[in-house]
Structure 1
Amino acid sequence: MWLISHHHLTVQLRKVKGHSNNKANDQADALAKQGRYSLDPIIVNHKFFHQSSLALFNYNHISVIDRNLRKWSNIPIYSRIFNMAMNNSSLLPINHQITYGDIDWIYTKQWINSNPFDMPTSSKLSKIQSNRLKKSTFTYPTGNILQRNYPNLYPLGRIHCMECSIDEDTNAHIGLCLSHRRSITSLLTKFKKNLIDLLRKEGTSNISFDIESRVNNSNMFKVFPDILDAARLLDSPDQIRIPREQPWILLLHHLIPRDLAVFFDNYFSKAAERSRFLIQYVTDFISELTSITWSSRSRSFKKWEKSLDITLKKKKNYRKCTCITSGRASSSAATLSSTVTHQRRSRYTRYYHNKVLPYYKENVNFDVSACIRWTTCNFLHSGSWESYRDNLLFNLDNFSPVQSFLDSLRPRIT
């Protein structure tokens, strides 16, 4: 435009058809004109595009930027923060899910912090949240962890799963166990139907079509035995990775998969409704999923512990007994030193409870209304604290800041 105005040029615009008489281009033009008058919106699924497609941006080969950048950035940022804060070997089973953003950390946080009771705090709530945190961090006391923490109570070697008696009893094994697959398959079918009914009945978004086909095509409600066996049959249990193709396993560890959260994001327009219905749905889902997996496994494991005479009392007293045993095995010099230290501590403790000290004098001139209890002489530089305490006459009313404030409001009499 600057060139035209600067040189005083006269420009005539003429439309020239491009790619005329090109068969593929003519078909594309016809489809574009046909789609212009279509009443149904066209949803483009970026998963069907090649990663090198110029139409979509790909961040570090991790995830496609398919929404508002500020909102999308929560996916890698939250997973990065979690990965840095919880960077330990126990999270290796979900390393791929953390890397590729398969876990919705916002909903996971809401779920772990959710309170099913009316009271804001309770011992039951503490146990529930502790259970969720242990399972989400893969530190729930399964066979391998109990063997590590109580080596003298549990037998050497791998402790196998009491349900399938094939693989080692670990946190990562619970979703791969052969004995649970049939019941899990029927449960996924049940909650797939529940989700379809929920989205149809309570969904508030304008996009309300094709709900059933989207839910049916999601891996959230499918069980792939070949993929589960491939993840289970590894040389070392430390190398087990939860397959990304089975996102429902994340619910066993109280982690909300992105494959489930996307339905609530798409079909509920308000954030409060999304969170409320998601928590309700996940509560029922995880409860029944836990009853056929974790609860069944715990009952079998407790029976096995009972057969070995491993009780809760022995676990509680394990450290105490271990310390006593190590103390007996120590040298006599170390024992003597420990005894002397213990005696010194006893005398030191009795010193503070000696009633002969002035602090415990009964007949002293002390004004109780002062509400001052001198326990050190650091505040008194002239004389001992004992003499000040015994002769302290102090009236709190005369030095009350409230009284001083009220006196300042009174009109002065001249």
Structure 2
Amino acid sequence: MGYGWTTSNLTTVNFTYNGSIQYFPSLTKAETMAILMYLAELKLVVCFIKVKAHSNDHYNDRADALAKVDKDVRKCVGTILNYRRIETHLNHQSLGPIKQATKDNLIDWSLSAKWFDYNGRNDTTTIAHSKDTKWKIRCSTFSLPTKDILHQNFPLLLPADKLNCFFCNNILETNDHFWTCLQLRTTIVNIFKKLGQDLIDILANNADKHPLLINDSIKYSKTFRWAFQNEPIHPVVLLLMRSYITRDLVGIFRSHFNTTKAITTFYYHSSIIVV
């Protein structure tokens, strides 16, 4: 929603200002913002006179024209609805860890949304892209077809005494255990070491700033340190493997690129998440 103001008592010049507000806009919020910006810009002591709208007052009409910022109200409504959708989504009982990670500010939801929509294939209708999207959705919603889920759907096909992990055969196979099985740790460590080294090479060739700090910014980040230092796996790594873009990972890119566009471009180029 737009707002604006203009001066009416200066004979040689008129000062004007306009802007816009978002996230639950209202007339009161817009008018209050106009007043605050008027006081901040000109630092005046003022008195208020209410002018009836559309009363052919020249200066009121001019301020009204300034306030007509070209904004699509549907985008504002869409933002509000998106907040409601994500709140409903995170309130699902199986997504408790993701809701907690959101509260802990570990997930960059803006880039995560772009990643879920990202198509790394050459054709929008390719089967490979459909499989990529299915994998992202299942990983992020804890709905990979692990044995516990298969047992719920097909109890006769997969009986209760056959639900232990395929790899360790000691613990119930679940979407949580899938990423933390000790028998898979070496494989995952080697993957992250390779990803870390690939990312070092990409940043070394394309970074906008701090080229001398690239190696340390990666090998000592929460995303990669655990693999290089043989430490317990960090929660942000589990989020990353579940297709969420973490703030820690974005921080690595942000420390070496000047713009969000460059971060997004080289993030996709690095293919840091294995689909």
Q: TM-score, normalised by structure 2?
A: 0.62
What amino acid does structure 2 have at the position aligned with 1:214? Answer: S
User: Which residue is 1:362 aligned to?
Assistant: none
Structure 2 Cα separation of the partners of residues 122 and 169 of structure 1: 31
User: Which residue is 1:160 aligned to?
Assistant: 164
User: Which residue is 1:212 aligned to?
Assistant: 215
What amino acid does structure 2 have at the position aligned with 1:267? Answer: H
Give the Å deviation of 1:107: 1.7
1:261 counterpart = 2:250: yes
User: Which residue is 1:94 aligned to?
Assistant: 98
Q: Specify the SS of the correspondent of 2:101.
A: helix
Q: Does the Cα contact within 8 Å between 2:195 and 2:272 map onto a contact in 1?
A: no
Structure 2 Cα separation of the partners of residues 254 and 164 of structure 1: 24
Structure 1 Cα separation of the partners of residues 164 and 243 of structure 2: 24
1:127 counterpart = 2:131: yes
User: Which residue is 1:279 aligned to?
Assistant: 268
Q: Does the Cα contact within 8 Å between 1:143 and 1:169 map onto a contact in 2?
A: yes
Q: Does the Cα contact within 8 Å between 1:132 and 1:254 map onto a contact in 2?
A: yes
Measured at CA, do residues 284 and 217 of structure 1 come closer, stay the same or move farther in structure 2, by a change above 3 Å?
closer
Give the Å deviation of 1:96: 2.9
Structure 2 Cα separation of the partners of residues 126 and 142 of structure 1: 20
Structure 2 Cα separation of the partners of residues 186 and 119 of structure 1: 31
Measured at CA, do residues 121 and 86 of structure 1 come closer, stay the same or move farther in structure 2, by a change above 3 Å?
farther
Aligned pairs for 1:47-196 within 5 A: 82-157=86-161, 159-196=163-200
Give the Å deviation of 1:135: 1.0
Structure 1 Cα separation of the partners of residues 201 and 231 of structure 2: 30
Q: Equivalent pairs: percent with the same residue?
A: 27
Deviations along 1:212-260, whole A, 9 cap, x unmatched? 22222212111487746xxxxxxxxxxxxxxxx3422222211112211
Measured at CA, do residues 225 and 92 of structure 1 come closer, stay the same or move farther in structure 2, by a change above 3 Å?
farther
What amino acid does structure 1 have at the position aligned with 2:248? Answer: D
1:250 counterpart = 2:254: no
Q: Specify the SS of the correspondent of 2:236.
A: coil
Bigger relative contact order, structure 1 or 2 (CA pairs below 8 A, ≥6 apart): 2
Counting matched residue pairs gives 193
Structure 2 Cα separation of the partners of residues 138 and 181 of structure 1: 19
Q: Specify the SS of the correspondent of 1:181.
A: helix
Q: Does the Cα contact within 8 Å between 1:79 and 1:101 map onto a contact in 2?
A: no
Deviations along 1:337-356, whole A, 9 cap, x unmatched? xxxxxxxxxxxxxxxxxxxx
What amino acid does structure 1 have at the position aligned with 2:254? Answer: D
Structure 2 Cα separation of the partners of residues 106 and 284 of structure 1: 17
Q: Which blocks of at least 5 consecutive residues in structure 2 are unaligned?
A: 1-81
Structure 2 Cα separation of the partners of residues 209 and 225 of structure 1: 24
Structure 1 Cα separation of the partners of residues 206 and 103 of structure 2: 33
Q: Does the Cα contact within 8 Å between 1:79 and 1:105 map onto a contact in 2?
A: no
Measured at CA, do residues 219 and 226 of structure 1 come closer, stay the same or move farther in structure 2, by a change above 3 Å?
closer
Q: Does the Cα contact within 8 Å between 1:91 and 1:137 map onto a contact in 2?
A: yes
Structure 2 Cα separation of the partners of residues 135 and 153 of structure 1: 23
Q: Which blocks of at least 5 consecutive residues in structure 1 are unaligned?
A: 1-77, 229-244, 288-414
Q: Specify the SS of the correspondent of 2:158.
A: coil
Deviations along 1:39-84, whole A, 9 cap, x unmatched? xxxxxxxxxxxxxxxxxxxxxxxxxxxxxxxxxxxxxxx9996343
Q: Does the Cα contact within 8 Å between 2:241 and 2:273 map onto a contact in 1?
A: no
Q: Does the Cα contact within 8 Å between 1:144 and 1:158 map onto a contact in 2?
A: no
What amino acid does structure 2 have at the position aligned with 1:266? Answer: S
Q: Specify the SS of the correspondent of 2:160.
A: coil
Give the Å deviation of 1:125: 2.2
Measured at CA, do residues 158 and 80 of structure 1 come closer, stay the same or move farther in structure 2, by a change above 3 Å?
farther
Q: Does the Cα contact within 8 Å between 1:93 and 1:172 map onto a contact in 2?
A: no
